[in-house]
Structure 1
Amino acid sequence: MDSKMEQIQLPHLNLPHFEPQLLEKEGKFWIFDALRKKQLVLTPEEWVRQHWINFLVTRLKYSKGLLAMEKGLMYNKLLKRTDLVVWNKSGNPYLLIECKAPKVKLTQKTIEQACMYHKELKTPFLIISNGLQHICLSYDVPTEKFTQENNFPLPPV
Structure 2
Amino acid sequence: MIIKTIENSEKVNFMELLLLADEDWKMIEKYLYRGELFALYDDDLKSVCVVTQESDCICELKNIATYEKWHGEGYGSKLLDHIFSYYKDKHATMLVGTGNVPWIMRFYKKSGFKVSHRIRNFFTDNYDHPMFEDGVQLVDMVYLKKDL
TM-score (norm 2): 0.38
TM-score by length of 1: 0.37
- Who wins on radius of gyration, i.e. which is larger? 1
Report which of the two has the higher share of helix: 2
